[in-house]
């Protein structure tokens, strides 16, 4: 079974803090993704990576950065957390060849106060 594991289920952080969300996959997938999910807005792509040290902006990259130093790990960084970044964050991975499905982690519910 494909396993995508996010480091935390729930996080509460203060405004202005630097926040790290970690994601690890065990299927040797080339592609990894970070989405956020908000009521009424659906899933929106923040960043994705198709190889180690490679990254591309998604639809809403502002206020976020990412790091992929190892193939299995993809980190999302909130440089200075703000209340409008309160959301459900979802990590996903997929194999490198096109047309394959993406598998998701269990999600991290982040609250910024």
Partner 1 sequence: EDQVTQSPEALRLQEGESSSLNCSYTVSGLRGLFWYRQDPGKGPEFLFTLYSAGEEKEKERLKATLTKKESFLHITAPKPEDSATYLCAVRGKAAGNKLTFGGGTRVLVKP
**Site for partner 1 (CB under 8 A): how many residues?**
25
Is residue 100 involved in binding partner 1 (CB under 8 A)? yes
Stretch that binds partner 1, among 14-22, 63-71, 72-80, 102-110 (CB under 8 A): 102-110
Distance, in Å, from the CA atom of 101 to the CA atom of 106, rounded to the nearest integer, reads 16
Q: Is residue 90 near partner 1 by the rule CB under 8 A?
A: yes
Q: What is the DSSP string of 51-100?
A: ETTEEEE-S--TTEEEEEEETTEEEEEESS--GGG-EEEEEEEE-SSTTP
**Contacting range for partner 1; rule: CB under 8 A; set: 12-20, 63-71, 75-83, 92-100:** 92-100
Pick from 9, 44, 108, 30: nearest CA to 74: 30
**Interface with partner 1 by CB under 8 A: which residues?**
4, 6, 31, 33, 40, 42-43, 45, 48, 50, 58, 90, 92, 94, 98-107, 109
């Amino acid at each position: 079974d494909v396993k995508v594991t996010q480091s935390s289920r729930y996080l509460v952080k203060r405004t202005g803090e630097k926040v790290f969300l970690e994601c690890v996959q065990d299927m040797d997938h080339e592609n990894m993704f970070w989405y956020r999910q908000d009521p009424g807005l659906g899933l929106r792509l923040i960043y994705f990576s198709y190889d180690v040290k490679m990254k591309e902006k998604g639809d809403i990259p502002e206020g976020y950065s990412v790091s992929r130093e190892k193939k299995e790990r993809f980190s999302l960084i909130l440089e200075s957390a703000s209340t409008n970044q309160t959301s459900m964050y979802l990590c996903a991975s997929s194999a490198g060849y096109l047309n394959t499905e993406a598998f998701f982690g269990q999600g991290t519910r982040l609250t910024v106060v």
